[in-house]
Every structure is written in structure tokens, then in C-alpha cells.
Amino acid sequence: MALLLRLLLLASALAIAVLPAALSRNLHSATQDGSAAGSTAGPSSATKTIVVLGDSLSDTGNLFNQTRGVVPNPGAYWRGRFSSGPNWVDHLAQIANTGSNASVTVLNYAYGGATACANVPGTSRTIPSLSEQLNMFLARETTEGASPSAAATFAASTRTSRLKLYKGRSAADSDGGPLCQMPAWPQAKPSADSDDGGDDSERLFVVFVGHNDLLSLHDSEWNDPRVVQAAVTNMTYCIVDVLDRLMASLTQQRQQQKARQQYQLLPDADSDDPSSPFLAAGDADTVTLTGPRDRVVLWNLAPLETAPAVPDAIRPKVATAVATANLALEAMLTPLRARYGASGGPGGPNAGRDNGWLSLDLYDIHGTCFCAQHHTAKYGFRNASQYCVHVDRVEDVDGISVAARLTRVSAVAQRDNVCSRPEDCLWYDSLHPTSLAQRLAFAEPFARQLGWQLG
């Protein structure tokens, strides 16, 4: 009952969260359009780096490459995405690229089939788990100057023709207001900071995983509450553990960077003092350091309970497991913020006390998807439960898990299995949204919440 109450509270909080907050954005885009306005501060060297850790919902070709072009099957799936076209990572990169003048780098370590915990029973050991994905990113960071990671891919040109599909399809209701919109997060670094060289570079870290930890339970295991609870507990622990390691590592990077910059700022005379290799104590805080903002964003679990792939018999149990996990994840962010002095969360940044450069937030993808599913007509989707890729003999196999079924579907689906108008559907196969759904329900609300202009 307590859980139900909290869910209701969450639902009412969501209802408030979808109220429009787009007015200030229009102002920004107006100044962007006037080319003179943008050039007054000199050439801005803003860079955006998007680092993604996740599963098939975010994979932009890693599993496809690892399986040498077999999964997901290129007959039905677009360029190694588990979707009909560009997925939310591609869309977000494209938004970052057109909405501002930043140069955008994507480091995507998401693999289809990946779990939050290593060694989840019934999953492949060869697919990097969340922790291994983080290790791949950290290894890249320590080999400075190394060639870009194999996971780094962003070619804006290849996407543009595909993106024309979306012209005229926008997620606006009859009053013209955007649907499923989250209020923008307060910016930890206000633009008044532009005195210090105007470095508004940022690194965005998105962690979006955990679905396969639940979906690799066999249909029969869902009847054992202890097994389900263990899966939820393990998964939330594994996610928080990786966030902790990531933030520890970012903090260490920042301290090293700060030490280097302070060393360079020292007048030569001071360097005689062997006890003070850097600044005298007290000066450290007065030096304005430039460097990227690091924004860590945990996406909660998507509403798996609504996926056509989930058998009706276990649907309520999946819903409860997802809700329990999402409440636990949200609760664990507060202590993490405190440990690293990060801003974010309800109330926004606390600039006086917190590190302005580091934030930790939760993106409620569960809420935005839920909203999109309840406004299918306004989004231009035919039906919230129909899906486009059907491989009947594989989908109907009993006695395995949802994840196993979908792995088979994505391996064997061919052109013949694809419906004629994928973009009429919210779902592409019975677990993964179409490219358009990933744009309207994943990427655009997220970009707005980040405070990015949609271009």
C-alpha cells in the first residue's frame, strides 16, 4: 500500500512536470539567429561530449560490430540500431549539433543485451556489462592522446536524409504546447561566467541500463517474489556502484586538472619554495578554472511493463519491479550527490556549497514514455500496442525470457518481417521503440530538460 501511495505521489509530480516551460528557450534561439549577436564574445570553443553507457535502447552499432554485422539483423534494423532508424543517441547528437555551435563528440559504450550487473544468469558473458563499459571509458581517458575509441561514432551527414522523415511530425498538442515535457534543469554555470574565457563546454554522461537484468528472468521466475526482488536489488546496487566509480573518477580528473592549471598560474619566484609546489593555501578557491562541466544523468527504467513483448500474465509483476527499482534509484542519488558535492536534484544547484562543475540528475524516461503512450494520437502514432517487426515463430517460443526472445527476433528479422509504415508505430519490434518514438519521447524531452536548444 505504501508503494502504491508513493506511486500516486510520483504520478501527480509528473503531471506538474509536463507543464510547458518553453518560453525562455524562444528567447535564446532568437539571439542565435542573429549572427552578429553570437560573435561578440569571440569564437567560442564550446565542445559537447556525450558519453553513453547502456543497452540495446542506446546501442548505435557496438553489438552489430562485435557480431560482425549479424545482430541486429541489417535486413530489418537500421545500421546496428535496434530500431527503424537513428535512435535517441543519434537524435540527441544531432540536436546538440544543430541547436548550438558546439562541436559534438559521442562516446557510446552501449551494447545490445547489456546488463547492469555482470554475470546475470542467462545472459552472454561476451557483452560488456555496465561496469565493463565504464572501464572502457576510463581506459580511454588514461591513455591520453590515443586514437579515438572504437565506440566513438558520429557522422552527422549520414543522418540528415533520414531525419527529413520527421518534418511535420512534432509532439505538440492541439494548443501548440509540447507534450511530455520536463521543466529545464537549472544551469549550474550561469552565462554570467563568460568572463573567464567563455568555456561553456560540457561532458554529458548518460547511464541507461537495467532492463535486461529484469527481462532475462524466465517467465516462470516472475512467480517467485524472492527472485524478482533479488534481481531488482542487484541491479540497483550495480548501477549505483558504477555511478559512484564514475563520479570518483571525474572528481579525481578535476583535481589533477586544477593542480596543473594552478601550477601554470604560479609566478616563477614562488617555485623556489619546496613546501609549496602549487598555490599558497587559500588562493586555490579564488582561481577561476576553466574546463568542461560534467553532467551525470541517470535515466530511470523505461516502462517495460507496457512493451508488447511482455506476456500479459507477468505484466503486473514487471510493473511493480520497474516501479520499485525506479524509486530505489532515485533515493540513492541524494547520498551520491552529497559524497561528491554535486549539484542537481530537486531545488537545483546549490552554487554556494556545491561544485559548480559537477551535477547528478535523474531523467524520468519512464514518465516521458508513459506520457507518449497516452497521447499516441497527438504524436501521430496509430496505436500504442501495435508493433512493426513480427517474427511469429520466434516470438511465440515458451519457457525462455523476454530478453532471449528479443535477441532471437533481432537476429533473424528480415525485410519481409517489417511492416510498410514503421513510423506509424510507437514500437518497432515488441520491445524497442521506432526511431520517431525515440526522437519525440526520448531525445527531445531530454534535450529540453538539459536546457539545449532544439534548433
Ligand X SMILES: *[C@@H]1O[C@H](CO)[C@@H](O)[C@H](O)[C@H]1NC(C)=O
3-state secondary structure of 396: coil
DSSP lists the bridge partners of residue 389 as 418
User: C-alpha distances in angstroms, 254 versus 114, 149, 225, 249?
Assistant: 29, 21, 43, 9
Question: Which stretch of DSSP H or E encloses residue 35?
Answer: helix 35-38
Name which of 79 and 337 has its Cβ closer to ligand X.
Answer: 79
Q: Does 150 bind ligand X (CB under 6 A)?
A: yes
Q: Does 126 bind ligand X (CB under 6 A)?
A: no
In single-letter form, the type of residue at position 208 comes to F
Q: Does 227 bind ligand X (CB under 6 A)?
A: yes
Name which of 115 and 359 has its Cβ closer to ligand X.
Answer: 115
* Sign of torsion over alpha carbons 347, 351, 353, 356: positive
Rounded to whole angstroms, the Cα distance separating 25 from 446 reads: 14
The answer to whether the beta carbons of residues 71 and 411 sit under 8 Å apart is yes
Closest-CA residue to 241 (of 117, 137, 138):
117
Q: Which residue is nearest to ligand X (CB)?
A: 150
Q: Which residue has the cell 554475470?
A: 119
Among residues 31, 255, 334, 383, which is the contact residue for ligand X, using CB under 6 A?
383
Cβ 325 to ligand X, closest distance in Å?
A: 13
The answer to whether the beta carbons of residues 309 and 217 sit under 8 Å apart is no
Interface region with ligand X, contact rule CB under 6 A, candidates 224-232, 242-250, 296-304, 414-422: 224-232
Q: Does 38 bind ligand X (CB under 6 A)?
A: yes
Rounded to whole angstroms, the Cα distance separating 109 from 151 reads: 6
Among residues 31, 101, 288, 334, which is the contact residue for ligand X, using CB under 6 A?
101
Name which of 12 and 383 has its Cβ closer to ligand X.
Answer: 383
Q: Does 386 bind ligand X (CB under 6 A)?
A: yes
Burial class for 341, CB neighbours closer than 10 Å (0-12, 13-18, 19+): middle
How many of the chain's residues bind ligand X (CB under 6 A)?
15
Name which of 247 and 426 has its Cβ closer to ligand X.
Answer: 426
Q: Does 223 bind ligand X (CB under 6 A)?
A: no
Task: Give the x/- contact pattern for ligand X in 46-85, rule: CB under 6 A.
Answer: -------------------xx-------------------
Cβ 345 to ligand X, closest distance in Å?
A: 28
Q: Which residue has the cell 609546489?
A: 277
Q: Does 231 bind ligand X (CB under 6 A)?
A: yes
Cβ 221 to ligand X, closest distance in Å?
A: 8
Q: How far is CA 70 from the centre of its chain?
A: 25
Among residues 201, 234, 253, 261, which is the contact residue for ligand X, using CB under 6 A?
234
The CA-to-CA distance between both ends of the chain, in Å, stands at 45
Q: Does 96 bind ligand X (CB under 6 A)?
A: no
How is residue 317 written as a grid cell?
Answer: 509483476
Name which of 32 and 257 has its Cβ closer to ligand X.
Answer: 32
What are the residues binding ligand X (CB under 6 A)? 38, 43, 65-66, 101, 120, 150-151, 227, 230-231, 234, 383, 385-386
